[in-house]
Chain A
Amino acid sequence: MCGIAGLFLKDSALEPRLGELLAGMMGPLSSRGPDSAGFAIYGEGRPDTVKLSLHGESEGHVTAVAGELAEALGKELSFAIRHTHAIVSVPEGDLAHAESWLSVHAPEISVIGKGKRMEIFKEVGNPVAVGKAFGLETMRGSHGVAHTRMATESAVTTDGAHPFSTGADQCLVHNGSLSNHNSLRRELRREGVRIATENDSEVAAGYLTWRMRQGQSLGEALQSGLDDLDGFFTFVVGTESGFGVLRDPIACKPAVMAETDQYVAFGSEYRALVDLPGIDNARVWEPKPATVYFWERGQ
């Protein structure tokens, strides 16, 4: 199973409500994925700063590590602690130092995302409780994706929860299962793409990162994925300014989309969309199999 909710705002007036709306979409999808949940939010960003999403054992643990990291860099770092995660803002010039310090001095910390605007949160447990623990409903931003997981291809762990991020400001959530993830993981690792887990969905994220590194746009990378990814999938992906959807050619995994002047929304089921503003007059449709859907924020 697994459930996916995605929301891409066209109207900036809704940005203060992004987290609240996404939480409302994720709740009804708990039945599709009761074992863990996660979400990526594209919020405020500063041009010279990169946000690291750190996952630790507890609030105390990530707070301590964030403090030690600031000390090691000799900088006043701004960081936000939410439940078991810390979002640490690092000056771009100190990023390599920060990452190497973390891998040496806090190897138990997972860096689950980095980017100018993207923040990722994920944890095992009931999706509604996970959303509340991180304060999802208080988050603001321009777009976000959420996932409720029913594990099939790898264990129920925080690192196995979605979204997966393998490139700056890039994230992917997946409903389905890939059958060629082992061989593809080996190829991508040879190409220098960092893939941290044995999870099939992370390989899909890594694949798109690799394609975009070669110069493809997100839309082009998704199109290439139709040739190279074998298995069942409905993907929703985010970049710093874009939002994309792709279903495999067989299209067993459900998908419903809705669009108004204010937003584009994705739900695994229509139940996820019913509380969005103006939904009764939205254009509601099922995305076609093997067809790339992609929206980009206006500059």
Chain B
Amino acid sequence: MSATIDLKKTTTRDLNSRLQNESAAPAGGTWQIANVRGHHSVAVGIDRPLTIEIDGNTGYFCAGMNHGAEITVKGSVGQGVAETMSAGKVHVTGDASMAAGASGRGGLLVIDGNAAARCGISMKGIDIVVKGDVGHLSAFMAQTGRLVVLGDAGEALGDSIYEARLYVRGAVASLGADCVEKPMNDEHKEELAELLSAAGVTDVPVEAFRRYGSARKLYHFNIDNAGAY
């Protein structure tokens, strides 16, 4: 099954209803979405393997709650792209606004350009590869999953981080509370190489990256701080 949906003629509600309906959009189908014109919530809540290509810049929450589809946006996306994704792949050829991949539980989000503030906020298992820079407070309260940044990271990277792993090639403006640099062991080089390969990055050696993660000092109340309360 293959079809083009024109968002000048179809509402986003109808588009999403069709893509979410298994008999209207059986697994394995290919869909093109044209004339997106910055609409919000395009191609959300899809729970099976569809191939979807979105032509143009989208608004908020594009490909949100994705569970198995492979979604490519030829353009840039507004805030919250692929938020709470649990499986599948979302590929943005342009930039992403804030909170890309927010609270994602699984799947892979690839952004060819830059991601703005709070990329990967509260990520819970998603993998995110950003080929450009990420803004401030990226991976804020990140729980699990991996964030790979080929460019620079803004202020307070990994603030209040739990167990997510962060790999950054460029400069980090500052680390957030309880986020520290950690050694790159073989297991980390191996997983980073897999992530780069999955994102189609073939010309960057894993040695170019530094790894950041949790110092685990916020996990428990420190009795020495009792006087502060």
Contacts and interface: CB of A to CB of B under 8 A. Distances in A.
Contacts of B135: 251, 288-289
Contacts of B58: 270
Nearest to B77: A270
Question: Is chain B's interface secondary structure helix, strand, loop, or mixed overall?
Answer: loop
Contact of B57 (A28, A250, A270, A288): A270
Interface string B122-137: 0000000000000110
A272 B57 CA distance: 12
Interface string A259-273: 000000000011111
B65 interface: no
A24 to B, nearest CB: 12
B176 interface: no
A285 B97 CA distance: 9
A284 interface: yes
Interface string B36-57: 0111000000000000000001
Given A254-B98, A270-B59, 9 more contacts: A269-B38, A270-B38, A270-B78, A271-B39, A273-B38, A285-B95, A286-B116, A288-B135, A289-B136
Contact of B38 (A250, A251, A274, A289): A274
Interface in B124-183: 135-136
A271 B58 CA distance: 8
Contact of A271 (B59, B98, B116, B117): B59
Contacts of B79: 254
Contacts of A256: 78, 97
Given A269-B59, A270-B59, A270-B78, A254 B37 contact: no
B76 interface: yes
Contacts of A274: 37-38
B201 to A, nearest CB: 23
A285 B58 CA distance: 13
A28 B136 CA distance: 29
Interface of A: 28, 249-251, 254, 256, 269-274, 284-286, 288-289
Residue picked from A28, A270, A272, A274, most chain B C-beta under 10 Å: A270
B33 to A, nearest CB: 15
Residue picked from B60, B95, B97, most chain A C-beta under 10 Å: B97
Contacts of A285: 95
B117 A251 contact: yes
A286 B134 CA distance: 12
A273 B95 CA distance: 16
Nearest to B133: A288
A289 B117 contact: yes
23 contacts: A28-B38, A251-B116, A251-B117, A251-B135, A254-B98, A269-B59, A269-B60, A269-B78, A270-B57, A270-B58, A270-B76, A270-B78, A271-B37, A271-B38, A271-B39, A271-B59, A272-B38, A274-B38, A284-B76, A286-B95, A286-B116, A288-B135, A289-B135
Contacts of A289: 117, 135-136
B95 A251 contact: no
A251 B98 contact: yes
A273 B38 CA distance: 9
A28 B76 CA distance: 19
Nearest to A272: B38
A134 to B, nearest CB: 26
Contacts of B38: 28, 269-274
Q: Which 5 A-B pairs have the closest CB atoms?
A: A270-B38, A271-B38, A274-B37, A270-B57, A286-B116
Nearest to A247: B117
Contacts of A284: 57, 76, 94
Nearest to B98: A251
A256 B37 CA distance: 13
Contacts of A250: 117
Contact of A254 (B39, B57, B78): B78
Interface in B46-98: 57-60, 76, 78-79, 94-95, 97-98
Residue picked from B57, B79, B98, B136, most chain A C-beta under 10 Å: B57
A270 B81 CA distance: 14
Contacts of A269: 38, 59-60, 78
A269 B38 CA distance: 8
